[in-house]
Structure 1
Amino acid sequence: MALAFAGLLTSAAAAHAEPRKVILDDDGFALAQWMVIKAPNVQVLGVTTVTGDAWTKEATADALRGVEIAGRPDLPVYTGATYPLVNTEAQTERWEALYGKLVWKGVWMKHWVEPTLQKLPPYHGPDVVPDLPQGNPTIKAQQERAADFMIDMVHRYPHQVSIIATGPLTNLALAQRLDPEFASLAKELVYMGGCLNPRQTRPDEVAHQFAREFLNAPRREFNIRFDPEGASIALRAPWARITMIPVDPSTDTELTPALLKRLSRSGTPVAQSLKTREPGFPLWDEIAAAVWLDPSLITQKAELYVDVNSQFGPSYGDILSWTPGYQPGLGEGKTIVVQKIDVPRFEDLMDRLVAAPQKPLSGKPLP
């Protein structure tokens, strides 16, 4: 496996004489972002934050601390959208009164509907930034807004910038509305979000609890449901290439205590920081990072046209998809949908990147 991994990196370096440029857009900095930052032949242009699982100010503090732990305090962090384009906490509560309770509501989550093994994050307002479990950052975020930064980068490096989005797609929608050339100037979009037809594959209780979100609503997923209008705008934008990582392949994965112990056994700061992470979660965002780094991890995929239901009703925020030829032709984007991955190789990639030596600082700002 070590030789195979070395061969992968060698072939990747040969295929990309210049480092692959990427922006990491997320609502909570964690293992997925560290994987990309520590990967060889990758130039992270910046990290942008958005409200979802955490408010954007807290997500920004988390990202700042994350780049410090990765040994890359030179990486700029940009604060993004605080609220979805249309959806609100009050509107979400009204939706629940009409159509039933949501399993997860991100920053609007006050209590679990039923007993669960996972901790409930503290409920607070958008301006509260709690002390972080891994320590608070000592560096500051950039003044420029996330959407403006994204626009600047695709104009500076036309058709070279990948965007990996692992939270709600609000920043991408804002960027597209501010600059209609935005998506067409990017190289690609890789995003974690949505459901197609997931099936619980792991037999343990933790996996069963996470399956509650899609057992009776197989098209619903938090990142898309939090800002359906933003997601629809982002996914209808004219990207050259879109790769979707829905919930489906994550049902084969879990950050078990054994895997967490394996990932945190090395002496790197990233590995040591993982000791504070709660086990038992599917590896949603990590799959998005991994398949961007190594597309050969994908063992099953489909090419579909994808959009989001933005009509306020029982299916508000659900993913819509069509095989080619059946789409209505209203701007929905042709998308590569990842359905299954090679889980052992995926875990191996995570392990090797976490244990890899720190990459040197760039030593200079972006040109």
Structure 2
Amino acid sequence: MRILRALFRPVALAATLIGGTAVCAPPSHAAEARKVIVDDDGSGIAEWMLLQAPNVDVLGITILSGDVWRDEGVAHALRAVEIAHRTDVPVLRGAVYPLLNSEKLTDRWEALYGKLVWKGAWMKKWVEPTVQSTPPYHAPDVVPHLPEGDPTIKASDEPAVMFMIRKVHEFPGQVTIIATGPMTDLALAQRLDPSFASLAKELVYMGGSLNPQQVRPDVAAAQFAREFANSPRREFNFRFDPEAASIVLRAPWRHIVAVPADPSTATELTPEFLHKLAAANPAFAGTISKREPGFPLWDEIAAAVWLDPSLIKHSEELYVDVNSQFGAGYGDTLSWTPGYQPDLDEQRETVVRTIDAPKLEAFITSLLARPLPSSPPK
């Protein structure tokens, strides 16, 4: 990482910037529900956090390929809303493939420039020994049986991209997009409707990497930070579809909050934390007990800082883009302090650098502990 100035801002500034208001805690029960669409490449605790949060209206969960293939991710999301008693929330199918990148191109890139630590749906094996298991490699249209049980409901027939466009037109200036996977869906939406980004309230995304410094060598999740020692600007969500990420980050959003990999390297889904989450609510216990430990809390941080900006310890204002040239830096994060950007439509972002990890765990636990609705809201 080579940032000319480290302009860390305290949480008070982050609270002012997120959502455009000085909010340092989840909204009160009297507040109007905050509208959000979750665009993800799987489904997990982050979705439950948003579904369980008070005064949050989850308009839909859109799923695209990334960590797993889209159809497998859709199955996980459908099962997640079933378990949460929130089958009123539609699950929609997004992009199966990146705009230009592919498994073959990634294999060619690795032959030229070295191995990637994580390749998501294209992952066949780890490069070096690791405590995390290797996810089963399969074709895009294969949906394996889920450890949490297969869903009994179906995804919406409406394409995810059309749903997102429709909703920002229906609720102009009110819909937050929380993107926790690659940005293919958002890029397609922006190309189909150039007013898409400007009609949304804000974009909160998990992606990119500046220079993670908070690696805890005593935790298994530190193994995910090995890549950053030599390639501090590389991160999976950007690397899976660099062209899409560049399109999205140069779109005219009213406000952007970035959660790069940086704060995640100080967190972990430990066996102890999983046990605490399982004990918080019997409805989630069966699924959580089957979760594999040893992974950072990537998506959970993005959901949490939107719900409660006081979790942010340090943030800074940067302009961000993604290297889309097919070379050694393909998919790497590009960033500039204000005034240094090339001014090719890059947008100013609030970039979260560190978070309060113990407070984050307590916040997640408190959300999951909330009672589930006896039946889906109408």
TM-score, with normalisation over the residues of structure 2?
A: 0.92
Aligned residue number for residue 286 of structure 2? 272
Aligned residue number for residue 225 of structure 1? 239
Aligned residue number for residue 70 of structure 1? 84
Separation in 1, partners of 2:213, 2:58? 34
Give the letter for the 2:50 counterpart.
V
SS in 2 for 1:339: strand
Within the candidate set 136, 140, 150, 1:122 is matched to 136
Aligned residue number for residue 43 of structure 1? 57
Aligned residue number for residue 244 of structure 1? 258
Give the letter for the 2:242 counterpart.
P
Does 2:97 align with 1:83?
yes
- Identity %, equivalent residues: 64
Aligned residue number for residue 263 of structure 1? 277
Separation in 2, partners of 1:23, 1:361? 21
Aligned residue number for residue 353 of structure 2? 339
Give the letter for the 2:325 counterpart.
Q
Structure 1 segments of 4+ aligned residues over 3 angstroms from their partners: 8-11, 359-364
Within the candidate set 152, 172, 179, 1:158 is matched to 172
Aligned residue number for residue 309 of structure 2? 295
Cα distance, 1:184 vs. partner?
0.2
Q: Is the 8 A contact 1:38 1:359 kept in 2?
A: no
How big is the alpha-carbon RMSD for the aligned residues of Structure 1 and Structure 2?
1.5
Instruction: Tell me which of the two structures has the higher relative contact order, counting C-alpha pairs closer than 8 angstroms and 6 or more residues apart.
Output: 2
SS in 2 for 1:237: coil
Within the candidate set 347, 355, 370, 1:356 is matched to 370
Q: Is the 8 A contact 2:176 2:203 kept in 1?
A: yes
SS in 2 for 1:162: strand
TM-score, with normalisation over the residues of structure 1?
A: 0.94
Within the candidate set 61, 70, 76, 1:56 is matched to 70
The alignment covers a number of residue pairs equal to: 356
Unpaired runs of 5+ residues, structure 1, are: 1-7
Separation in 2, partners of 1:352, 1:205? 23
Separation in 1, partners of 2:194, 2:25? 37
Aligned residue number for residue 228 of structure 2? 214
Cα distance, 1:348 vs. partner?
0.8
Separation in 1, partners of 2:117, 2:281? 37
Distance 1:38 1:119, change over 3 A: same
Unpaired runs of 5+ residues, structure 2, are: 1-22
Separation in 2, partners of 1:337, 1:316? 21
Aligned residue number for residue 24 of structure 1? 38
Distance 1:360 1:170, change over 3 A: farther
Separation in 2, partners of 1:51, 1:170? 9
Separation in 2, partners of 1:205, 1:289? 23
Deviates more, 1:262-271 or 1:347-356: 262-271
Q: Deviations over 1:83-132 (max 9, x none)?
A: 00000111100000000010111111111111111010111111000000
Q: Is the 8 A contact 2:44 2:80 kept in 1?
A: yes
Distance 1:149 1:302, change over 3 A: same
